[in-house]
Chain A
Amino acid sequence: MKKLSIILFILSLGLKVHGQSISVKRDTTRRLGEVNVEAAIKRKIESDMKMAVSVDEFLASSDNISFIKRGAYAWEPLLNNMSTERSTITIDGMHIFGACTDKMDPITSYVETNNLSSIDIKSGQEGNMHGATVAGSIDLKRRSTPFGLQQKVGGAYQTGFEFNNKQAFNLGNLFYSTDNFVADGSVAFRKAGNYYDGNNKEVLHSQYNKLNASLGLAYKTSPLSAIRVDAIFDRAKDVGFPALPMDLWLSRAIITSASYKQLFEEGLVKVWDTKVYFNAVEHYMDDTTRPENLVHMDMPGWSTTYGLVSKINLKKDRYSSEVQLNAYDNLSIAEMRMYPQDRSKQTMFAYSWPWVTTRFASIAMNNSWEISDRSKVNLGGSLGWNYNYSKYVEFNWIFHPGAPQKKNRWLPGLHASYELNLNQFDISVGTGFGHRAPSVSEAYGYYIYNSFDRYDYIGNPDLKNEISYEVNASVGFKTEKLSISAKVNYFYIDNYIIGRILSLGSPMNYQSVGVKGYTSLKYGTLFNTAMSIDYKVLDNLHWKAVITYARGKDDEEGNLPFIRPLSYQTSLHYNYKRIGLRTSLNGDFTQTNYSPAYGEDQTSSYKIWNLSADYSFSLGKFKTVFQVGAENLLNEYYSTYADWGNIPRMGRNIFTSLKVNF
Chain B
Amino acid sequence: MKVSILIKTIVFYVAITCVFLGSCTKGKTNYEAERGEVVEEGVEFKEVTDFVAAGYTISIEALNGVLYRGYNDIRVRIKNTQTNTPVEVSSVTFLPIQTAVSGEKRSCPNQYNFSYKSGDKYFSGYTVFTSESGAEGSWEINVNFTVGSQNFSVIKEVLVRQQTNKNLNMTMFTGKDDEQYVIALVSPQKPSVAENKLVAGIYKLNKPLDSSSKSIADQLQFSYSQVDRYTLKLDPRMPEPSMGNHSSPNNKDLIQEADGLYHGIVNYTMTGNWTLNFILLNPDGKVIRGTEVPKDFTPGVEGRKSELYLDILF
Residues of A within 8 A of B31 (CB): 349, 351, 392
Stretch of A338-346, A472-480, A617-625 contacting B (4+ beta carbons < 8 Å)? A338-346
Across the interface, name the chain A residue whose C-beta is closest to B237. Answer: A506
Residues of A within 8 A of B24 (CB): 282, 302
Across the interface, name the chain A residue whose C-beta is closest to B29. Answer: A335
Residues of A within 8 A of B214 (CB): none
Q: Are B16 and A398 in contact, CB atoms less than 8 angstroms apart? A: no
**A590 at the binding interface (Cβ < 8 Å):** no
Most buried by A among B28, B38, B268: B28
Residues of B within 8 A of A256 (CB): 19
Q: Are B244 and A348 in contact, CB atoms less than 8 angstroms apart? A: no
Residues of A within 8 A of B23 (CB): 1-2, 280
Q: Are B242 and A398 in contact, CB atoms less than 8 angstroms apart? A: no
**A5 at the binding interface (Cβ < 8 Å):** yes
Q: Are A506 and B245 in contact, CB atoms less than 8 angstroms apart? A: yes
**A499 at the binding interface (Cβ < 8 Å):** no
Q: How far is the CA of A502 from the CA of B250 in the complex (A)?
A: 12
Q: Are B15 and A233 in contact, CB atoms less than 8 angstroms apart? A: yes
Query: Contact flags (1/0) for A310-352 with B, using CB distance below 8 Å?
Result: 0000000000000000000000010111101100011111110
With A19-B5, A294-B300, A349-B270: A394-B194 Cβ-Cβ less than 8 Å: yes
Query: Contact flags (1/0) for B22-34 with A, using CB distance below 8 Å?
Result: 1111101101001
Stretch of B6-14, B96-104, B135-143, B176-184 contacting A (4+ beta carbons < 8 Å)? B6-14
Contact-residue size bin, chain B (C-beta under 8 Å from the other chain):
35 or more
Residues of B within 8 A of A282 (CB): 22, 24-26
**A486 at the binding interface (Cβ < 8 Å):** no
Residues of B within 8 A of A294 (CB): 241-242, 299-300
**B18 at the binding interface (Cβ < 8 Å):** yes
Count, chain A residues at interface, CB 8 A: 67
With A284-B25, A392-B31, A506-B297: A399-B250 Cβ-Cβ less than 8 Å: yes
A446 to chain B, nearest CB (A): 8
**B193 at the binding interface (Cβ < 8 Å):** yes
Q: How far is the CA of A513 from the CA of B244 in the complex (A)?
A: 11
**B47 at the binding interface (Cβ < 8 Å):** no
**A591 at the binding interface (Cβ < 8 Å):** no
A residues 1-31 touching B (CB-CB < 8 Å)? 1-2, 4-5, 8-9, 12, 15-16, 19-20
Q: Are B38 and A346 in contact, CB atoms less than 8 angstroms apart? A: yes
Q: Are A252 and B25 in contact, CB atoms less than 8 angstroms apart? A: yes
Q: Are A348 and B1 in contact, CB atoms less than 8 angstroms apart? A: no
**A295 at the binding interface (Cβ < 8 Å):** yes
Q: Are B193 and A335 in contact, CB atoms less than 8 angstroms apart? A: no
Residues of A within 8 A of B268 (CB): 398
Residues of B within 8 A of A280 (CB): 22-23
Q: Are A398 and B22 in contact, CB atoms less than 8 angstroms apart? A: no
B42 to chain A, nearest CB (A): 20
Pick the residue among A153, A347, A394, A507 that contacts B272 (CB under 8 A). Answer: A347
Pick the residue among A16, A213, A252, A506 that contacts B22 (CB under 8 A). Answer: A252
Q: Are B18 and A254 in contact, CB atoms less than 8 angstroms apart? A: yes
A368 to chain B, nearest CB (A): 39
**A395 at the binding interface (Cβ < 8 Å):** yes
Across the interface, name the chain B residue whose C-beta is closest to A214. Answer: B15
Q: Are A510 and B271 in contact, CB atoms less than 8 angstroms apart? A: no
Q: Are A398 and B195 in contact, CB atoms less than 8 angstroms apart? A: yes
**A447 at the binding interface (Cβ < 8 Å):** yes
Most buried by B among A176, A506, A514: A506
Residues of A within 8 A of B245 (CB): 506
Residues of A within 8 A of B63 (CB): none
Q: Are B248 and A183 in contact, CB atoms less than 8 angstroms apart? A: no
A390 to chain B, nearest CB (A): 12
Across the interface, name the chain B residue whose C-beta is closest to A178. Answer: B1
Q: Are A5 and B20 in contact, CB atoms less than 8 angstroms apart? A: yes
**A33 at the binding interface (Cβ < 8 Å):** no
Q: Are A12 and B26 in contact, CB atoms less than 8 angstroms apart? A: no
**A505 at the binding interface (Cβ < 8 Å):** yes
Pick the residue among B1, B242, B267 that contacts A340 (CB under 8 A). Answer: B242
Pick the residue among A185, A217, A348, A399 that contacts B243 (CB under 8 A). Answer: A348
With A215-B8, A504-B249, A508-B243: A346-B26 Cβ-Cβ less than 8 Å: no
Residues of B within 8 A of A333 (CB): 28
Residues of A within 8 A of B13 (CB): 9, 12
Q: Are A508 and B270 in contact, CB atoms less than 8 angstroms apart? A: yes
Q: Are B250 and A254 in contact, CB atoms less than 8 angstroms apart? A: no
Residues of A within 8 A of B249 (CB): 398-399, 502, 504-505
A397 to chain B, nearest CB (A): 5
B242 to chain A, nearest CB (A): 4
Q: How far is the CA of A346 from the CA of B39 in the complex (A)?
A: 11
Across the interface, name the chain B residue whose C-beta is closest to A297. Answer: B242
B residues 296-314 touching A (CB-CB < 8 Å)? 297, 299-300, 313
A290 to chain B, nearest CB (A): 14
Q: How far is the CA of A507 from the CA of B237 in the complex (A)?
A: 11
Q: Are A506 and B246 in contact, CB atoms less than 8 angstroms apart? A: yes
Query: Contact flags (1/0) for A456-473 with B, using CB distance below 8 Å?
Result: 000000000000000000
Query: Contact flags (1/0) for A287-307 with B, using CB distance below 8 Å?
Result: 000000011000010100000
**B240 at the binding interface (Cβ < 8 Å):** yes
**B2 at the binding interface (Cβ < 8 Å):** yes
Q: How far is the CA of A16 from the CA of B9 in the complex (A)?
A: 7
B105 to chain A, nearest CB (A): 39
**A267 at the binding interface (Cβ < 8 Å):** no
**B146 at the binding interface (Cβ < 8 Å):** no
Q: Are B271 and A348 in contact, CB atoms less than 8 angstroms apart? A: yes
**A134 at the binding interface (Cβ < 8 Å):** no
**B80 at the binding interface (Cβ < 8 Å):** no
- What are 5 sample pairs from A and B whose C-beta atoms fall under 8 A apart? A231-B15, A338-B242, A338-B272, A340-B273, A510-B244
The 7 closest A-B pairs by CB, nearest first: A394-B194, A348-B272, A504-B249, A350-B270, A510-B299, A505-B249, A295-B242
New contact pairs (7) apart from A185-B11, A349-B270, CB-CB < 8 Å: A183-B5, A231-B15, A280-B22, A282-B24, A294-B241, A340-B242, A348-B240
Which residues of chain B have a CB within 8 Å of any CB of chain A? 1-2, 4-5, 8-9, 11-13, 15-16, 18-20, 22-26, 28-29, 31, 34, 38, 192-195, 238, 240-250, 267-273, 295, 297, 299-300, 313
Which residues of chain A have a CB within 8 Å of any CB of chain B? 1-2, 4-5, 8-9, 12, 15-16, 19-20, 152-153, 176, 178, 181, 183, 185, 213, 215, 217, 231, 233, 250, 252, 254, 256, 280, 282, 284, 294-295, 300, 302, 333, 335-338, 340-341, 345-351, 392, 394-395, 397-399, 401, 447, 502, 504-508, 510-514
